[in-house]
Structure 1
Amino acid sequence: MNLARMLGKRAEDDRPVRVGLIGGGKFGSMYLTQARLTTGIHVLGIADLDIRRLRGTLRRAGWPDEQTDTASFSDALGSGRTFLTDSAEALIAADGLDVLIDATGDPAAGIRHCLAAIRNGRHVVMVNVEADALAGPLLACRAQAAGLVYSLAWGDQPALIAEHVDWARTCGFEVVCAGKGTRYLPHYHQLTPDTVWETLQSYLALKDPSQINLKMFNSFLDGTKSGIEMTAVCNATGLIPQDDGLGFPPASRFELSSVCRPKEYGGTLSRTGTTEVVSSLARDGSDVPHHLAMGTYVVIEAQTDYARQCFTEYHMLEDDSGRFAALYRPTHMIGMELGVSVASAALRREPTGAPVGFHSDVVATAKKPMKAGDMLDGEGGFTVWGKQCPASVSLARGHLPLGLAHHVTLTRDVAEGQMLTWDDVVIDETDDAYRFRREMEQAFA
C-alpha cells in the first residue's frame, strides 16, 4: 500500500516514471485521463495511427492542448510534456522511457511491440490481452530473462481476478473457481457485427452504431472476450479450464458459491481449480437479480470445520453446505485503474499478474457452416468465436488459436461449432506472430 508514496518520492526527486502508450482507444483514453493527474507519472509519448483523432481523444480526456505542444521526444523529456507520434517503434526507442503500455488489441502488433520493448529495456504492461492469450507465457519468459517486468493490466478483469486468487492462496484457502460476470445467452455465439446492434441496444444507451466499433463490441458478447480473459487468468494463476470450456451459468452475486462449485457438490463445474464466467441473464432472457455483469469473483473452500464456522460468523457468501464461499468485486474501471500496474512495474519490479505457464488456450470455433476457400475474419467477426480450452488439449489436437484466425483461408468445409485446427487453414509460416506462437508451443509442450 505504498505506491502513491513511492510515486511522490519520485516526483520530489524530479525522476517521474516515464510512460509510453501505444493505442489511444477507449482503454488508453481512460488511462490518460488519470495519468495526467497522477503525481510521479510523466506520459512521455503516445503512439497512434490517427494523430488527429488522438488529439480529440485527449481533449475529451481533459488534457490541455499545451501538454502535447512539443516537437520531439527529447523536448518532451526535458519539458514534462507529451510527444504524439504515429510510430510505435520510435516511441519504444525513445530515451528515458521506463514503461510501455500496449493497448492496441492486435495480437500480432502486441507481440511485436513487446519484443521491441524488451530489446530496449522497457517494462511492459500488456493491456492487449489478445496478445497475452496468444503468446503471453513466452513473452513473460523473455521479459524475465532480460530483468524486466511483463504485466497484465490492473483495472482490467484478468488482473483483478488474479489478485483474488493470490489473496485466497495467501490466506491459505483452496481456490475452487475464479472468474467474472458477463451478459450471455447461447445464441450469442452466432452474433456478428451486422446482428449485434439490436442486442447492444437492449441494455446500453447507444443511439448510433457508427460511434462504436461493432466488431470489438461483438467480441464481448459472442463469448470470445470471456475466453481470452479467462485464458489470461489461467496462465497467470495455474488454474485449468473446464473440460468443455466456459459454461456461462446464470448466477447472482449471492449464488456464486453454489453455482461455481464442482458438480459432485451440486454445482456446475467439471473440476475444482478452474475458471467460469457467470451470466447476468437467465436462459429465458430475463435479468438475473443482483447479477455480476461488470464484476469479478473467487470461490474458496474451507478446509476445516472451524473455517466453515467463521464463514458463517462473518457473513461470507457461503453455499448451503458451508463448505464453499465467495468474495466478489462488483465492478472494474479498466484504464482508470491502470496506474497501479505502471507504478508496480516501475517501482516494485512486480507485475499485477503475469503468465506463469501455458495452461489455457483460446481456440477458433466456427460460428456457421463454412466451405473450403472461405476466409476467416478473427475476433468479433462473422466467422469464428474464441472458445477456452485446456492448453494440453489444444496442443494434442492441433487446434488453431483465435489470435491467428484472421485473414486465413479454409482448406476444407467445416461445421458450425467446430473447433478448428491448423490443418483446416492455409497459414503463412513466415509470419512473425505465427512463428512466435509455434516457438511458445514447443517451449511449453
Structure 2
Amino acid sequence: MIHSHGTRDREPVRIALTGANGGYGRTLLAQLRRTPELVPAALVEPDADGMRRTLAELGLDDTTVVTDGAAVDWRGVDVLVEATGQVAVGTGYAESALDNGVHVVMVSKEVDTVAGVALAAKAEVAGLRYLPGDGDQPANLLRLVDWVSATGLEIVAIGKSGEYDLVFDPATGTVTQAGVSIDAPGLADLLELGPDPRSTVDRRAALVAGLKRSAAADLCEMTVVAMRTGAVPDTEGLHYPVARIAELADIYAAREDGGILGRTGVVDVFSALRLPGEASFAGGVFAVVRTGDPVTWELLRGKGHVVSRSGEYACFYWPYHAMGVETPLTIHAAVDGTGVAPRPRPSTLLAARTATALDPGTSFQVTGHHHEINGVAPVMVAPTAGIAPYYLLGGARLGRAVAAGELVRLDDLDGVAPGPLAAWAASTASSREPGV
C-alpha cells in the first residue's frame, strides 16, 4: 500500500464536534477511525442516545464525551468543528471556543455569513485560526481558487454545481433531480450547446422549470466564498444555467464573447446536466479562466481539458465535495497555521427579499434540508446599512408590514437572536474601520 501520510506522526489533536450526529458529523467521525492522530474528545449532540448508537455502529469508543448541547470543557479540546447549521447555537459555540484558546473549523455556512467576519477577527486577535471546513464547497472552492491564482491565470468566474445533477434519459424523455422526475423530451434536441449558448441555456431552463434548482444553501455557500475572495454575483439570485461539464468555459464567458456574464470576477452556481451513466459533477467546484498562448491551450484541449470553442476561456474543476472525509485537512491546517482561506470581509451580504407582501407578526423559521425561510428569497447583494442578513430572520418576526420585493431590514424585525445580532453588528463596525 502507499505509505501513510506524515501527519499521522504528530501528537494527538483533540476535537470537539457539534452537530455530531448529523450527516456531516457522521462522515467526519467515520473518517477519524483512519486518522488516529485526530481524537474526538467532545461530541455535542442533543440526541445522546442516537449519538451512542452511531458510535457503536462506527466501532468508536463509547466513552467519548457526549454532551446534551450545553457547556463544553474546552480544557481538553484543541479544535472545534462547528456543524450544527444553527446560527445562534453555532455562533455561541464558536465564540466560546475562541474565548478558551481553541481553533475553529466552521462547517455551518449559515453561521459564517452572519458572524464569520467577527469570529475571524476574534480569532486573529487571539492568535487562533478560524477556517471554513474542507469537504464543503466553500473551502474546496477557496483551495481551487488559491491554486489557480498561484499559476497567474486570470479568473473570470468561480462557483459550484447545485447539489443534485439533472439526469436526462433520452429513452424516456424524462429528467430526474434528487428522485423527482418530470417529462422534458425537448432536452434531446438541446444536448449540444449550439451556435447560441445563451438561447440554448434559456430553452433548457424553461424545460426543467418544474424542478426546484436554486436553494438558499447554494447562495449561502457562495456568500462565504465571496466574502473571502472579493468575487461578486452577476445577478443577485445567481444564474443557475443548465450546463454540461464540457460547456462551462463557453457558458461562463463574457456576453460579448457569447457567454452569460455581464462582468467578470463573479461567483455563480450551475445545474449540471448529464445522461444516465455519465460521471456526476458531485456538487463540485470550478474556476473559469482566460487563456493565454493559443498553442498551449490547444495542446491542453487535446488532452481533454475543458476549453471554449473560441479558445479564449478554459475551465478547471474538482468534481467532488466529500463532506467530513476531507475535514481532517482543515483540522491539521488549523493547528499548523497552514490554512489557505483569507480572512472574510463584509463585501457581500446574503439578504432576504420578500416574495409577497408580509404582514406585521409574520414569523420566520429556518426549515428543511436547505435551511430556507418561507415568505422570502435569499439574494446576494452589496452590503447596505440596515439590511438584515438572511439567517438573522430565523426565529424572528416582523414588527411592521413589508411590501413585496423589498429587502428585509433589521428594524423590521423583532426577536432577533442576540448573539448573532451582536456578532453582525461587530462585523459591520469593523468594515468601517480605516484599512478594513
Q: Deviations over 1:360-385 (max 9, x none)?
A: 22111334442222112234242333
The CA deviation at 1:407 is 2.2
Q: Distance in 2 between matches of 1:261 and 1:355?
A: 28
Question: 1:322 aligned to 2:311?
Answer: yes
Relative to structure 1, the CA distance from residue 293 to residue 371 in structure 2 (aligned partners, 3 Å threshold; closer, same or farther) is farther
Task: Give the distance between the partners of 2:47 and 2:80, measured in 1 at CA.
Answer: 19
Q: Does structure 1 conserve the Cα–Cα contact (< 8 Å) formed by 2:214 and 2:240?
A: no
Does the 8 Å CA contact 2:164/2:282 hold for their aligned counterparts? no
Structure 1 residues 143-162: aligned runs within 5 Å? 143-162=123-142
The alpha carbon displacement at 1:293 in A equals 5.2
CA displacement at 1:307 relative to structure 2: 4.7
TM-score, with structure 1 as normaliser: 0.79
> Where does the alignment leave 5 or more consecutive residues of structure 1 unmatched?
70-81, 186-197, 204-219
Give the paired residue count.
Answer: 385
Task: Tell which deviates more after alignment, 112-121 or 356-365.
Answer: 356-365
SS in 2 for 1:440: helix
Aligned mates of 2:132, 2:163 — CA distance in 1:
23
Segment of structure 1 superposing worse, 368-377 or 269-278:
368-377
- The Cα shift of 1:199 comes to 7.5
Residue 337 of structure 1 corresponds to 326
Deviations 1:63-104 (CA, angstroms, capped at 9, x unpaired): 24xx123xxxxxxxxxxxx2222245324x233x21111110
Q: What residue number does 2:261 align with? A: 269
Once the two structures are superposed, the pairs formed by residues 4-15 of structure 1 within 5 Å of their partners are 5-10=5-10, 15=11
Question: Does 2:362 match 1:365?
Answer: no
Equivalent of residue 170 in structure 1, options 150, 170, 183: 150
Distance 1:278 1:435 in 2: 34
In the aligned structure 1, how far is the partner of 2:124 from the partner of 2:337?
10
1:433 aligns with 2:411: no
Kindly indicate whether residue 72 of structure 2 is the aligned counterpart of residue 90 of structure 1.
yes
CA contact (8 A) 1:253 1:328 kept: no
Q: In the TM superposition, what are the counterparts of 1:11-410 in structure 2 within 5 Å?
A: 15-24=11-20, 25-60=22-57, 62-64=58-60, 67-69=61-63, 82-91=64-73, 93-95=74-76, 97-182=77-162, 201-202=179-180, 222-280=214-272, 292=281, 294-305=283-294, 307-346=296-335, 348-378=336-366, 379-389=371-381, 393-396=382-385, 398-410=386-398
CA contact (8 A) 1:252 1:290 kept: no
Secondary structure class of the residue paired with 2:384 = helix
- Kindly tell me: are residues 83 and 183 of structure 1, through their superposed partners in 2, closer, same or farther at Cα, counting changes over 3 Å? closer
**Aligned counterparts of 1:88 and 1:234: Cα–Cα separation in 2:** 33
Deviation at 1:141? 1.7
Q: Indicate if the aligned counterparts of 2:158 and 2:288 stay in contact, CA closer than 8 A.
A: yes
Shift of 1:281: 5.7
Residues 187-227 of structure 1, C-alpha deviations (whole Å, 9 max, x = no match): xxxxxxxxxxx985416xxxxxxxxxxxxxxxx96520011
Q: CA deviation at 1:260?
A: 1.4
Match of 1:442 in 2: 429
- For structure 2, the 5+ residue unaligned runs are 166-175, 182-211
Q: Which amino acid aligns with 1:165?
A: V
Question: Would the alpha carbon gap of residues 334 and 105 (structure 1) be closer, same or farther in structure 2, given more than 3 Å must change?
Answer: same
* 1:320 CA displacement: 1.4
Q: Structure 1 residues 342 and 88 mapped into 2: Cα distance closer, same or farther (>3 Å)?
A: farther
Three-state SS of the structure 2 residue aligned to 1:90 is: coil
For the 8 Å contact 1:252–1:288, the answer to whether it is kept is no
- How far apart in 2 are the matches of 1:362 and 1:4? 41
The separation in 1 between residues aligned to 2:7 and 2:161, in whole angstroms, is: 33
Give the fraction of aligned pairs with identical amino acids, expressed as a percent.
29
Preserved CA contact (<8 Å) 2:164 2:177: no
